[in-house]
Structure 1
Amino acid sequence: MSGDQLAVTVADGFVPVIDLSSRDSAQGRALIAEAIGNALESSGFFIIVGHGVSPELVRRMFTATNAFFKLPCEEKDLVASRPGVSGYRRAGGTLARSLDQETPPDLCETFAAHVTGELSEEERKELGNEWASWTHQNIWPMPPADFKDAWQEYMVAMGDLAADLMCLFALALGLKEDFFDDKFDHHGSSVAANYYPPQLEPPLPGQLRRGPHTDFGSLTILYQEDDRGGLQVLQGKDNWRDVSAIPGSFVVNIGDLMALWTGGRWVSTMHRVINPEPGDTSSRVTIPFFYLPNHDATIEPLRPFQDSPAVERFDTVTVSEWVSRKVRKIFT
């Protein structure tokens, strides 16, 4: 950046690419916050570069995660999710059900771990509803040898990046940078890697790798493979736009709770992962980090937005109530 210029480009005409490399200066942060606010009022999505996350850590994270999903099913099942434990799922649920849409199950395997998953059982019992997966213990596979270390380091790096993005969100909303800090001081965030296996048979009618959905929390930071797309964002009522996989970048979007906080000024946008072209038998891995506020935080439109016409469609809700409601729909 020089003067009052900020590197903001537009990918696919809808999702901007925002360079965070100038965020160490007050002027840079102000310009970045303005660009973020503009993106979240339109598409609800933006792509970040210059984020400072170690490329070597991202490489280790992807390598270990991809190696795990390529293991035989019987080995992956050793760390399967079960009551009170987060780990591997052969089927990633049906995300469209979170919006009360009935579709066939998503063509996706998942592995999930939580920031709170290393806490003691007594500490986790204090985190609320049994459907809220942040109350679950993490379970780690072996092999791959580097899996646990890479995942734990990655969760720390993503948590730090997400916390700074929330400071920029506050600036974009005309609030003090530390406004959201006490809403995330015991957050229940998670990493939930998605593996989309080769499609050797035609999918069922309406069946996708990930069905249309919105995210549930405050923000999501997504890593996707550089050369394999599939993520689409809904523009308007029926215009699905591809989101580019840019080397060295992350895709950021807000979820329902952030939209509620802003009284609908910022949008939690429908997105999906489409199937590959017929005959394409490649697999794909994506790694989203879901940054959630404290389980007992009450979410309601902030004072500057309480007069917004959109507020009427939002209910005041705790984080635990909202996320548990959505998870029930996906897996029952």
Structure 2
Amino acid sequence: MNSDQLTVTVTDGFVPVIDLSSRGSTLGRAAIAEAIGNALRSSGFFIIVGHGVSAELVDRMFTATNSFFKLPDGEKDVVASRPGVSGYRRAGGTLARSLDQKTPPDLCETYAAHVTGEMSDDERSTLGNEWASWTHKNIWPKDPADFKDAWQEYMAAMGELAADLMRLFALALGLEEGFFDDKFDHHGSSVAVNYYPPQTKAPLPGQLRRGPHTDFGSLTILYQEDERGGLQVLQGEDEWRDVAAIPGSFVVNIGDLMALWTGGRWVSTMHRVANPEAGDTSSRLTIPFFYLPNHDASIEPMRPFTDSSAVERFDTVTVSEWVSRKVQKIFS
């Protein structure tokens, strides 16, 4: 492919597939930014290929993580989350609560680690005292042996990819490419894997693998198992659209904070993870990377606001204040 060209294919007209392989050239970056802007104005979601992340690293991350979740509960509980520590949760919370919806608990287990979780206790004490998990220390399992190394390499690779996506976001908004850089120079990002166990009994009424929610940060980069779907995005008021699980791809979406930051020009869209069909007892694992700005970054929305009623409006808000309110609802 010519480096000054961009191939954009469309899966269903709502979540486009964008090839990033031409982002090394000025014209390629401009074309990619335009495609991203179009996606974020309509669905808030797109799928990326040609992203440059090593398939070997993704496979190693998936294998180590999946092996951990297949361990007996007692072994996983050794690295359970607790006050001040991020790790394993046998119950992944109820995401619909972040939007004040009452549903049964989501049918998933989670494991989370944070970029800031490797800092010393003294360093983390400077990250504020809000109800936020980036102040927590990471805890790592001993089995599998390569778990910690795979996670740390994966978080670093995702951080580099996310930083460049934010530069493309700036171009899509007509801003200088480095506009967002100083808001992420000590970012509080995390990987929070979702493991969906086999469903051997019927879910409760209204219970899903992940209930309807919007993400609440700036952007999310999600790895899905190849050809094993479940992620659905809401189109309009009541139509749930499947998001394809394409080998070698990542799903990217923005969260509420990014929608606010753009003054409602871009949309943070409701999504969920549907239950498998009756009789399907397969498990599923997804690996989302949540790219968050610095905890003390002050987010000033672009003016004027659009007329969208979906945007929670503030003159300014710090990232710490914003995220803490959302997380507290999920695990309340």
- TM (norm. structure 2) is 0.97
| Equivalent residues, number | 330
CA contact (8 A) 1:299 1:319 kept: yes
Deviation at residue 6 of structure 1 after TM alignment: 1.7
Amino acid at match of 1:271: H
Which moves more between the two structures, 315-324 or 248-257? 315-324
Unaligned runs of 5+ in 1: none
Look up the match of 1:98.
Answer: 98
Look up the match of 2:283.
Answer: 283
Look up the match of 1:121.
Answer: 121
User: What SS does the aligned partner of 1:288 have?
Assistant: strand
User: What SS does the aligned partner of 1:221 have?
Assistant: strand
TM alignment of 1:293-308, pairs within 5 A: 293-302=293-302, 305-308=303-306
Look up the match of 1:62.
Answer: 62
Mapped to 2, the partners of 1:3 and 1:205 lie a distance apart of: 51
Kindly provide the CA deviation profile for residues 238-290 of structure 1, in whole angstroms up to 9, marking residues without a partner as x: 01000000000000000011100111110000000000000000000000000
Deviation at residue 317 of structure 1 after TM alignment: 1.4
Look up the match of 2:169.
Answer: 169
Look up the match of 2:251.
Answer: 251
Amino acid at match of 1:125: S
Mapped to 2, the partners of 1:201 and 1:13 lie a distance apart of: 35
Deviation at residue 126 of structure 1 after TM alignment: 0.9
Deviation at residue 35 of structure 1 after TM alignment: 0.2
Which moves more between the two structures, 42-51 or 314-323? 314-323
Mapped to 1, the partners of 2:143 and 2:3 lie a distance apart of: 50
Which moves more between the two structures, 126-135 or 160-169? 126-135
CA contact (8 A) 1:64 1:146 kept: yes
Mapped to 2, the partners of 1:54 and 1:205 lie a distance apart of: 41
Look up the match of 1:13.
Answer: 13
Alignment partner of 1:234 is 2:238: no
Alignment partner of 1:188 is 2:188: yes
Look up the match of 1:314.
Answer: 313
User: What SS does the aligned partner of 1:309 have?
Assistant: coil
Which moves more between the two structures, 130-139 or 86-95? 130-139
Amino acid at match of 1:228: R
Query: What CA RMSD, in Å, does the superposition of the two structures yield over aligned residues?
Result: 1.2
Mapped to 1, the partners of 2:319 and 2:312 lie a distance apart of: 17
Kindly provide the CA deviation profile for residues 44-92 of structure 1, in whole angstroms up to 9, marking residues without a partner as x: 0000000000000000000000000000000000000000000000000
CA contact (8 A) 2:198 2:283 kept: yes
Deviation at residue 307 of structure 1 after TM alignment: 4.7
Kindly provide the CA deviation profile for residues 87-140 of structure 1, in whole angstroms up to 9, marking residues without a partner as x: 000000000000000000000000000000000101101111342000000000
Look up the match of 2:179.
Answer: 179
Alignment partner of 1:153 is 2:153: yes
- TM (norm. structure 1) is 0.97
Amino acid at match of 1:308: T
Mapped to 1, the partners of 2:306 and 2:203 lie a distance apart of: 42
Deviation at residue 313 of structure 1 after TM alignment: 4.2
User: What SS does the aligned partner of 1:103 have?
Assistant: coil
Deviation at residue 5 of structure 1 after TM alignment: 3.9
Mapped to 1, the partners of 2:25 and 2:328 lie a distance apart of: 43
CA contact (8 A) 2:225 2:245 kept: yes
Look up the match of 2:221.
Answer: 221
User: What SS does the aligned partner of 1:212 have?
Assistant: strand
Amino acid at match of 1:249: S
Look up the match of 2:327.
Answer: 327
Unaligned runs of 5+ in 2: none
Deviation at residue 300 of structure 1 after TM alignment: 2.4
Kindly provide the CA deviation profile for residues 12-49 of structure 1, in whole angstroms up to 9, marking residues without a partner as x: 22100000000000000000000000000000000000
Deviation at residue 218 of structure 1 after TM alignment: 0.4
In structure 2, relative to structure 1, the CA distance for the partners of 1:72 and 1:307 (3 Å cut) is: closer
Mapped to 1, the partners of 2:152 and 2:320 lie a distance apart of: 23
Look up the match of 1:263.
Answer: 263
Mapped to 2, the partners of 1:3 and 1:148 lie a distance apart of: 36
Mapped to 1, the partners of 2:266 and 2:211 lie a distance apart of: 22
User: What SS does the aligned partner of 1:251 have?
Assistant: strand
CA contact (8 A) 2:5 2:22 kept: no
Look up the match of 1:292.
Answer: 292
CA contact (8 A) 2:3 2:28 kept: no
CA contact (8 A) 1:129 1:324 kept: no
Mapped to 1, the partners of 2:191 and 2:63 lie a distance apart of: 15
Q: Identity rate of aligned residues, in percent?
A: 83
CA contact (8 A) 1:221 1:250 kept: yes
Kindly provide the CA deviation profile for residues 135-176 of structure 1, in whole angstroms up to 9, marking residues without a partner as x: 000000010011000000000000000000000000000001
Deviation at residue 299 of structure 1 after TM alignment: 1.4
